[in-house]
């Protein structure tokens, strides 16, 4: 079992899930210009949910991409962790739309928080399983890099749990936590180093977690 | 005709079929918090069907992945077996949803059973066709490994036929059979050995069926 | 511009288009067992359209796959021929469903025939453009192999035109023509020779059109 | 981070977005032949929107493809530019359908224009970011080639802004501008040089922007 088939399945699933919310944007049926403008304005929570869901999926895809770049082998348990991970990824558009429509109540925030916690917990488990005793990862990756990646995923999971807890006090705090965490992750992904393309594949694998 | 294009088509189709049931999860339209919670609770058969369908597709994808890892060549008949296989794979979400909604009657179970039987029969045929006279598979794969894989697929098909037969006596027995079989397959996939990634591709191909 | 990106886009589009008709299979809402059975029975034209559309797309995918196997370079015009080809491929599920619902009138047959003619004409054009003066194809491919492939595509286009013409006399003749042509193509694809996998990629390219 | 995963995600997203408008073509329910013909005729704006959207996406995909062919490395900022780019690409079917239904008012044209401007601006930014100080691109690509590609993207963005401005005077002028620009781009893509396939991958990368 090679990692390239998992990567292909992963890219296919992310491509579908990223465009999922755009599937139910339909052109409004109106009779005049002013009505069209107003109808489109009332669709803004749908557009916002689409943008948020796309950015969050972009962060998660980048994290998973970075993780797999360091993984040289694949076994059955790691495969199942990936399949469970994909299953939870596919819920992001649904929970994001739920949040964008019912953000003033704790139900939507708790569900979004559970989804987010599950995602980062699975990323943490994959990282832990692959790196424990250097089971699946490249032997040249430093312990420091593994710790850093694990800390990032643990941070995401803990922040999501905190957001769930705060939702019973004040839902605005929860939304603020999610906003801060994902903004931080967007910057985290953006500021990672430069990796060489195909021709330097062996090297880029080695370097993936080091920078 | 190389196997990599079949693999690419396969991954694309599985990505779509795996996320198919999530496509018709839509955010409920409600006026208050309690109603939202209740509406989401009543959606549980849809969520369950999604999870079951995803896990079953994960098992089937892994089996097909394992099979193709041992296949070095491809011919026209093998191609058609694959296309028929993909055609039947795409029915899993539909038959799973049918089963989750109407599990107390034999109609849904018979249909699910036929789908499941067809899947394993086609996997068996692919395995038989590729390995008969070492037509398409790697010559280093041992006869013992081929027999093991064939036995797994035959087991899946026979169990599905048994589930169909028992549905006319007691539908709970049928569901129990399906649950046992897929739980066994999840463990089967999980406990397979470790395979090297890209750089050891030739070796991993050789080893794919041996462990 | 390499052919591998076109192949990746091609596989993605075929994966979506092949599963398109399964997207609108929805589980019927019924109150008892007998009603469920009857409702499912009335869905048979949808199932049939799905199977036919899948098989036809399998034939077209195999032809296009075979064509690209012989193509070593890609230029802008060839790229546009491919994009137009994908555009027409995506209509197959729609025209197949139309045919399965309104097969007794000439409208559906004419539309299906136009779709089919356009497909084979574009395959012919791609083959002609790539092979004229050995513009894009591998220099080792024999003239006889090119002629054979061109004849196959021309045959598909001419048979589709004949089916359109006969639809004004008797629609059953048209359907008979389509059935014969695609049955012949299924056999044509199935009986092509064996090609080596990745490790013999250079050779397989050379041989793709020879067998 | 290698560019091949971005390419795989890109091809998956374009495959879905290209076929998006075909997803909501449904077979009309009618009782006689004449009615079927009329119903299909009234669907022409949907067919037209599909064709336009497919061609525009073909142009954008080719431009992005050409850009990535010259990119040898990938970093975090470049990754985010790509994710934002994919997010905007997924709006093309929606804005195209909007334009095809409400082309006589300025609202639809302004929205289509904003979408088009954003696309070319992001392509320009990617090209500028990758080539500034030869940050990510192949060192053998000539400055002249970079300038040419940047000029093309800047031209697309400026023409889209012009179309937005003219929409307040006369919407026909705006549509004429879009038609001219995309027709020019179709020819631009078609008349680019010939590139070698896989076996000459290193060379084709070098040449990608030179011709």
ipTM: 0.88
Q: What DSSP assignment string belongs to A28-84?
A: ---SSHHHHHHHHHHTHHHHHHHHHHHHHHHHHHHHHHHHHHHB-EE-HHHHHHHHH
Site from A42, A87, A126, A135 to mutate, B interface, most B CB atoms within 10 angstroms: A87
- Counting every residue written for chain B, the total comes to 211
CA distance C58 to B90: 14
What's residue D89's pLDDT?
96
Inform me whether the pLDDT recorded for D209 exceeds 70: no
What's residue A13's pLDDT?
96
Asked whether the beta carbons of B77 and C193 are under 8 A apart, the reply is no
- The model's pLDDT over C105-120, given as tens digits with 9 standing for 90+, comes to 899 999 999 999 999 9
Partner-chain contact C16 B16, CB within 8 Å: yes
Inform me whether the pLDDT recorded for D57 exceeds 60: yes
* For chain C, percent of residues with pLDDT exceeding 70: 90
What's residue D200's pLDDT?
40
Chain B residue numbers with beta carbons less than 8 Å from the beta carbon of C69 are 1-2
Asked whether the beta carbons of B22 and A20 are under 8 A apart, the reply is yes
* Nearest Cα residue to B51 out of D194, A90, A39: A90
What's residue B134's pLDDT?
85
Neighbours of chain C (3+ CB pairs under 8 A): A, B, D
Q: How many other CB atoms are found less than 10 A from the CB of residue C123?
A: 24
CA distance C89 to C56: 10
Site from B61, B67, B83 to mutate, C interface, most C CB atoms within 10 angstroms: B83
CA distance C173 to C104: 11
Interaxial angle between packed helices B76-89 and C44-70, expressed in degrees from 0 to 180 and rounded to the nearest 10: 140
* For chain D, percent of residues with pLDDT exceeding 90: 62
H/E stretch holding C144 reads: helix C143-166
Interaxial angle between packed helices A106-131 and A171-190, expressed in degrees from 0 to 180 and rounded to the nearest 10: 40
Residues of C with CB under 8 A from a CB of A: 12, 15
CA distance B184 to B151: 14
What's residue B200's pLDDT?
40
What's residue C200's pLDDT?
40
Strand partners, C71: C137
Partner-chain contact B40 A107, CB within 8 Å: yes
Count of CA atoms in the C-beta half-sphere (13 A) of A29: 0
Size of interface B-D (CB pairs under 8 A): 3
Chain B residue numbers with beta carbons less than 8 Å from the beta carbon of D15 are 12
Which residue has better confidence, D72 or B172?
Answer: B172
CA dihedral A116, A117, A118, A124 (to 10 degrees): 110
What's residue C141's pLDDT?
84
Angstroms from A201 CA to nearest CA on chain C: 18
CA distance A23 to A57: 16
Site from D72, D76, D140, D168 to mutate, A interface, most A CB atoms within 10 angstroms: D76
Size of interface A-B (CB pairs under 8 A): 115
What's residue C206's pLDDT?
47
CA distance A20 to A13: 10
Q: How far apart are the first and last CA of chain D?
A: 28
Chain D residue numbers with beta carbons less than 8 Å from the beta carbon of A9 are none
Inform me whether the pLDDT recorded for B203 exceeds 50: no
Angstroms from B46 CA to nearest CA on chain A: 13
CA distance C127 to C146: 8
For range A162-174, the mean pLDDT = 95
* Nearest Cα residue to B121 out of B92, B86, B93, B158: B158
Identify the top-confidence range among B13-27, B83-97, B188-202.
B83-97
What's residue C87's pLDDT?
96
Q: How confident is the model at residue C4 (pLDDT cuts 50, 70, 90)?
A: confident
What's residue A196's pLDDT?
37
- The model's pLDDT over C128-182, given as tens digits with 9 standing for 90+, comes to 999 988 888 887 888 888 898 999 999 999 999 999 999 999 999 999 999 999 9
Partner-chain contact B40 A94, CB within 8 Å: no
CA distance A91 to C34: 35
Q: How confident is the model at residue A193 (pLDDT cuts 50, 70, 90)?
A: low
Mean pLDDT, all residues of chain C: 88
Inform me whether the pLDDT recorded for A198 exceeds 90: no
* For chain D, percent of residues with pLDDT exceeding 70: 90
Asked whether the beta carbons of C28 and C40 are under 8 A apart, the reply is yes
Q: How far apart are the first and last CA of chain C?
A: 28
Q: How confident is the model at residue D88 (pLDDT cuts 50, 70, 90)?
A: very high
Mean pLDDT, all residues of chain A: 88
Angstroms from A122 CA to nearest CA on chain C: 27
For range C172-200, the mean pLDDT = 79
**Minimal Cα distance from B75: which residue of C?**
C194
What's residue D196's pLDDT?
37
Q: What DSSP assignment string belongs to D79-123?
A: HHHHHHHHHHHTTHHHHHHHHHHSTTSHHHHHHHHHHHHHHHHHH
Q: How confident is the model at residue A69 (pLDDT cuts 50, 70, 90)?
A: confident
Partner-chain contact D208 C79, CB within 8 Å: no
What's residue C73's pLDDT?
82
Asked whether the beta carbons of B142 and B70 are under 8 A apart, the reply is no
Which residue has better confidence, B4 or A125?
Answer: A125
Asked whether the beta carbons of D37 and C37 are under 8 A apart, the reply is no
Q: How confident is the model at residue C57 (pLDDT cuts 50, 70, 90)?
A: very high
**Minimal Cα distance from B203: which residue of C?**
C199
Pick from A16, A27, A195: CB nearest D94: A27
Angstroms from C12 CA to nearest CA on chain A: 8
Partner-chain contact D1 A204, CB within 8 Å: yes
Mean pLDDT, all residues of chain B: 88
Inform me whether the pLDDT recorded for B198 exceeds 50: no
What's residue D33's pLDDT?
86
Q: How far apart are the first and last CA of chain A?
A: 28
How far is CA C38 from each of CA B107, C33, C48, C97, C148, rounded to the nearest angstrom? Answer: 10, 9, 16, 21, 48
**Minimal Cα distance from D83: which residue of A?**
A58
For range A96-124, the mean pLDDT = 94
Angstroms from A202 CA to nearest CA on chain D: 11
**Minimal Cα distance from D57: which residue of C?**
C83
Neighbours of chain B (3+ CB pairs under 8 A): A, C, D
Site from A197, A198, A202, A210 to mutate, D interface, most D CB atoms within 10 angstroms: A197
For range A134-152, the mean pLDDT = 87
What's residue D136's pLDDT?
87
Inform me whether the pLDDT recorded for D72 exceeds 90: no
Helix (H, G, I), strand (E, B) or coil at B195: strand
Q: How confident is the model at residue B193 (pLDDT cuts 50, 70, 90)?
A: low
Which has the minimum average pLDDT: A47-56, A188-197, B44-53?
A188-197
Token pair listed for C51: 């199977």
Q: Is C26 exposed, middle or buried (0-12, 13-18, 19+ CB in 10 A)?
A: exposed
What's residue A162's pLDDT?
97
How far is CA C113 from each of CA C148, C156, D2, rounded to the nearest angstrom? Answer: 23, 10, 44
Chain C residue numbers with beta carbons less than 8 Å from the beta carbon of B13 are 15, 18-19
Chain A residue numbers with beta carbons less than 8 Å from the beta carbon of B194 are 73-75, 135-136
Inform me whether the pLDDT recorded for A52 exceeds 80: yes
Chain A residue numbers with beta carbons less than 8 Å from the beta carbon of B52 are none
Q: How confident is the model at residue D164 (pLDDT cuts 50, 70, 90)?
A: very high
Mean pLDDT, all residues of chain D: 88
- The model's pLDDT over D15-44, given as tens digits with 9 standing for 90+, comes to 999 999 998 888 899 988 889 999 999 998
What's residue D1's pLDDT?
59
Asked whether the beta carbons of A107 and B33 are under 8 A apart, the reply is yes
What's residue B135's pLDDT?
85
What's residue C209's pLDDT?
56
Pick from B17, B73, B101: CB nearest C195: B73
What's residue A209's pLDDT?
55
Dihedral sign, CA of D173, D175, D179, D185? positive
Chain B residue numbers with beta carbons less than 8 Å from the beta carbon of D20 are none
What's residue C187's pLDDT?
93
What's residue A186's pLDDT?
94
What's residue B156's pLDDT?
96
Which residue has better confidence, C146 or D86?
Answer: D86
Long-range contacts of the stretch C29-38 (C-beta < 8 A, 24+): C30/B102, C33/B102, C33/B105, C33/B106, C33/B107, C36/B102, C36/B105, C36/B107, C36/B108, C37/B107
Cα B22–B27–B30 angle (5° rounding)? 155
Q: How confident is the model at residue A145 (pLDDT cuts 50, 70, 90)?
A: confident
Q: How far apart are the first and last CA of chain B?
A: 28
The torsion angles phi and psi of A210, rounded to 5 degrees, stand at -80, -25
Chain D residue numbers with beta carbons less than 8 Å from the beta carbon of C201 are 198
* For chain B, percent of residues with pLDDT exceeding 90: 62
What's residue B196's pLDDT?
37
Residues 6+ apart with CB under 8 A from B109: B99, B103, B163, B164, B167, B171, B174, B175
What's residue A191's pLDDT?
87
From start to end of chain D, where are the E strands? 73-74, 195-196
Token pair listed for B198: 């890209």
For range A122-145, the mean pLDDT = 89
Token pair listed for C96: 């197949």
Inform me whether the pLDDT recorded for B10 exceeds 60: yes
**Minimal Cα distance from B87: which residue of C?**
C54
Site from C4, C5, C168 to mutate, D interface, most D CB atoms within 10 angstroms: C5
CA distance D54 to D63: 14
């Amino acid at each position: 079992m090679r990692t390239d088939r998992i990567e292909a399945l992963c890219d296919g699933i992310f491509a579908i899930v990223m465009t999922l919310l755009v599937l139910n944007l339909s052109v409004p049926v109106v009779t005049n210009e002013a009505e069209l403008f107003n109808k489109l304005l009332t669709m803004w929570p749908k557009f916002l949910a689409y943008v948020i869901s796309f950015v969050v999926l972009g962060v998660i895809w980048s994290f998973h991409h970075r993780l797999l770049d360091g993984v040289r082998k694949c076994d059955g348990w790691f495969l199942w962790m990936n399949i469970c991970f994909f299953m939870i990824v596919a819920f992001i558009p649904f929970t994001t739309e739920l949040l964008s429509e019912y953000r003033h109540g704790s139900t939507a925030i708790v569900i979004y928080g559970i989804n987010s916690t599950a995602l980062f917990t699975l990323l943490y488990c994959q990282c832990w399983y692959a790196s424990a005793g250097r089971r699946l990862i490249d032997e040249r990756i430093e312990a420091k890099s593994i710790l850093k990646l694990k800390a990032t995923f643990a941070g995401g999971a803990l922040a999501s749990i905190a957001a769930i807890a705060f939702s019973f006090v004040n839902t605005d705090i929860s939304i603020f936590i999610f906003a801060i965490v994902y903004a931080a992750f967007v910057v985290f992904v953006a500021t990672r180093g430069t990796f060489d393309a195909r021709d330097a594949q062996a090297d880029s694998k080695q370097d993936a977690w080091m920078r």
